[in-house]
Amino acid sequence: MTESFFKDENEKIEQETKAIPELGAPVLKDDDSPIADDFQSEEGRMAAIMSYIPFLCFVPLLNMKDNKEAQFHAKQGVMLFLVELIAVIFLIDGISAFVFKAILIIAVALAVFGIYFALQGKNYKLPLIGDLVKKAKK
């Protein structure tokens, strides 16, 4: 009697647990085919590992153009490398102070331009800021 009362609830839980992939299971596309067979090779794994090591991230990006999984990890590794490089640059006091001052000057200049165009009744998209606002609306 309890099974019939909770039947819909049990089916819902079973469907939800089937949707959760097991640890170590291959990631599948919508049509239940594996995303990439290349990653199962030792070469693909080494390329993926190399992608996250600074300076070595360019090796799979340039040398393994036919391996989609290696390219995926290499592109992420390059982006991570750029973030790390920017962080190291901002550790230098003189450079970081200069960059922050430059950003402040640009922000004040953009605010002055915004006030100028607002007084004229014009809708002018500010450089950089206008694009960010447009993306944020979506």
pLDDT for 57-82, tens place per residue?
A: 888 888 888 877 778 888 888 888 98
- pLDDT the model gives residue 105: 93
Q: Which amino acid is at 131?
A: D
Could you tell me the residue range of the domain that residue 81 belongs to?
Answer: 1-91
35 shares its domain with 72 = yes
Which domain-ending residue is among 71, 91, 111? Answer: 91
24 shares its domain with 71 = yes
Q: Which residue has the higher pLDDT, 105 or 137?
A: 105
Residues contacting 65, CB < 8 A, separation 6+:
71
Question: How many domains does the chain contain in total?
Answer: 2
72 shares its domain with 108 = no
16 shares its domain with 74 = yes
Average pLDDT, the chain: 75
40 shares its domain with 12 = yes
86 shares its domain with 42 = yes
* Distance (Å, whole) CA 133 – CA 51: 33
For residue range 15-48, what is the model confidence (pLDDT) as tens digits?
Answer: 665 555 555 555 555 555 555 444 567 777 888 8
* Distance (Å, whole) CA 50 – CA 103: 35
Surface-to-core class of residue 57, CB atoms within 10 Å of its CB (0-12 exposed, 13-18 middle, 19+ buried):
buried
Conformational region of residue 55, where left means phi above 0, alpha means psi within -120 to 50, and beta covers everything else: left
79 shares its domain with 113 = no
5 shares its domain with 70 = yes
